[in-house]
């Protein structure tokens, strides 16, 4: 990440991140993805190769290592919690 697309900072660090994707009406969590993370705002980006590998995994070309329950909350206009 030479320049962060979100905040314009020019410093980042390598980290492993978890990301949730919405694929074919289901949610998929891919964990420990290698990413560049902006030191200012936390925006993360993936290399082209990593993004393609994640895409293949999320679209069912890999077996999940485990499953976790997922609570779903819907944000309402009336502000009810």
Residue 17: strand pairing partners: 33
pLDDT-derived band of residue 80, with 50, 70 and 90 as boundaries? Answer: low
Q: Where are the domains of the chain?
A: 12-61
Model pLDDT for residues 13-72, shown as the tens digit of each residue: 999 999 999 999 888 999 999 999 999 999 999 999 999 999 999 998 889 999 989 888
Whether the per-residue pLDDT at 81 is higher than 70: the answer is: no
CA 74 to chain centre: 20
Whether the per-residue pLDDT at 76 is higher than 90: the answer is: no
Residue 45: strand pairing partners: 36
């Amino acid at each position: 990440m030479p320049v962060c697309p979100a905040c314009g900072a020019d410093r980042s660090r390598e980290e492993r991140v978890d990301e949730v994707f919405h694929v074919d009406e289901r949610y998929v969590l891919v964990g420990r993805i290698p990413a560049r993370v902006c030191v200012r705002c936390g925006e993360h980006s993936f290399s082209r190769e990593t993004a393609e590998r994640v895409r293949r995994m999320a679209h069912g070309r890999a077996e999940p290592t485990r499953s976790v329950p997922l609570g779903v909350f819907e944000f309402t206009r009336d502000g009810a919690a």
